[in-house]
Amino acid sequence: MMTIKHVTALGNESVIETDEESYTPADSPQTFDILGTARTSTGTDWWRSAPTAELVPIRDGDVYVMNGHGSTVARYHLGGWAFAE
């Protein structure tokens, strides 16, 4: 089990427990916003929702991934929203 702490670009914080987390870099062809528009300046961090088993995106702010012992094993600075023109 892992824990994800997400601090949004506006400063809001949430803590999420998950079994799976992955990161898609900004230059990956799989990086899109919720409308399907390609994003260019930030990546997307994904975590798997325990109740629904769906992948849920985090697209802004800072993400800290902690292992079961509470040690930070990954950090991602996703920045704010950016849309391709």
CA distance 47 to 50: 9
Q: For the chain, give every domain's residue range.
A: 2-79
What DSSP designation does 60 have? S
The per-residue pLDDT for range 6-57, each reduced to its tens digit, is 998 888 999 988 888 888 776 665 545 445 555 545 567 777 766 677 778 8
The maximal CA–CA distance of the chain, rounded, in angstroms, is: 43
Contacts of 28 (CB under 8 A, 6+ apart): 43
Digit-coded pLDDT (tens) for 71-85: 999 998 887 754 443
**What is the reported pLDDT for 27?**
64
